[in-house]
Amino acid sequence: MRTAQRFKVRSVFAAAAAVLLVTPIAVSGTVTAHAASVKPSASVLKKSNSYYRKHAKTLGKKYKLVYDAQTALKKNGKAVVWVNTSDKQLKKSVQLAMDYWNHKLGKKEFTKGSKKNHTLTFSVSHAQASKSDNSDAWWTPGTKKVQVRWSYYQDAKKDIAQKMSEPYQVAFYKQYNTTITSTAKKNLAAQGVDPAANNYSALLEQEETKVAEGLKAFQSVNKTLTAINNSVAAQGRMYEYAGTIAHEFGHTMGLDHSPNAKDLMYYESGTNKVYSYKQVTTKMKSYNPVTATDKARAQLALKIYVAAHK
């Protein structure tokens, strides 16, 4: 079990239209980052279109913007997303990702489109991961596609279910293990089972299972574990991928990776809240990973884009 916070590792990317803005596989670890602020001030966000056109290069360098990545934006700076997947949970993740940005920006930057009417496509990729390409999500400006790797998406549910379940299992056996074992031994003794018998260990394990399942505490824990495996783990994955996709949508607006570890656009991101039953079923409903810095950078990137297309 990895007890440290789990992060999505997002690699840096090269320039130009052919680039992939990627999100490699998740790893665990504690990340700290100390860097100069890349958050545009309120005054910078109130400049004229002519100012943005004239100083676009300087602003892009200072606030880490990549204009070549803005290929899916309409002239008004908005994007229309065709969600090309049949997976219901993944559709919810895409909608959440759009909602995250729309809510923070105070406007519908991202709207749902269709096969015939869209500026960018969201879909899954069935390509197998390799040493040179282990990303789990990416934005390709040239083809105007945001994609997630299907195999990693499928594995994520099992991963979350395991980590979400483990605290309940550990707590139960930590509290009741001694009682379970001693009761099981007494039961076998009452049945006349000799501790020296060759199959004693197997019989003891079977009896321990019976004793554990007879405890009221086990019934409560089992109910929670059943809920995790039936629905809550999938809900956690929905939130996990909503953040992943929102990160890629940040790239579509022209945002390079942020140097600040707390930002959605940091090259590593993610939250261990998706491994908490209570967080997923309650507090994650109001969770939004887009920070004030993410918001300000997106606002500036969009202002510069619109100014350039007037």
Instruction: Between 38 and 36, name the one with better pLDDT.
Output: 38
Asked if residue 231 belongs to a domain, the reply is yes
Give the pLDDT band of residue 37 (cuts 50, 70, 90).
confident
Q: Of 64, 61, 47, which is closest to residue 256 (Cα–Cα)?
A: 64
d(C-alpha 272, C-alpha 280), whole Å: 10
Asked if residue 177 belongs to a domain, the reply is no
DSSP secondary structure code for residue 266 in this structure: B
Q: What is the mean pLDDT of residues 11-39?
A: 50
Checking if the pLDDT of 225 tops 50, the result is yes
Checking if the pLDDT of 50 tops 60, the result is yes
Asked if residue 48 belongs to a domain, the reply is yes
pLDDT in tens, 294-310: 999 999 999 999 999 98
d(C-alpha 6, C-alpha 270), whole Å: 7
| Range 241-263 burial, b when 16+ CB lie within 10 A, else e | bbbbbbbbbbbbbbbbbbbbbeb
pLDDT at 133: 85
pLDDT in tens, 57-76: 999 999 999 999 999 999 99
pLDDT in tens, 162-221: 999 999 999 999 999 999 999 999 999 999 999 999 999 999 999 999 999 999 999 999
Cβ-contact 97, 106 below 8 angstroms: no
- Distances 281 to 11, 23, 219, 278 between C-alpha atoms, Å: 31, 26, 20, 5
Three-state DSSP class for 104?
Answer: helix
Q: What is the mean pLDDT of residues 109-138?
A: 94
Asked if residue 215 belongs to a domain, the reply is no
Cβ-contact 129, 149 below 8 angstroms: yes
pLDDT at 269: 75
pLDDT at 232: 98
Asked if residue 292 belongs to a domain, the reply is yes
CATH number at residue 51: 3.40.390
Q: How many domains does the chain contain in total?
A: 1
Three-state DSSP class for 259?
Answer: coil
Asked if residue 187 belongs to a domain, the reply is no
The whole domain housing 22 covers 6-29+40-159+226-308
Asked if residue 230 belongs to a domain, the reply is yes
Structure-block tokens of residue 243: 């953040």
Q: What is the mean pLDDT of residues 275-298?
A: 96
Asked if residue 112 belongs to a domain, the reply is yes
pLDDT at 20: 57
Give the pLDDT band of residue 2 (cuts 50, 70, 90).
very low
Cβ-contact 229, 161 below 8 angstroms: yes
Checking if the pLDDT of 8 tops 60, the result is no
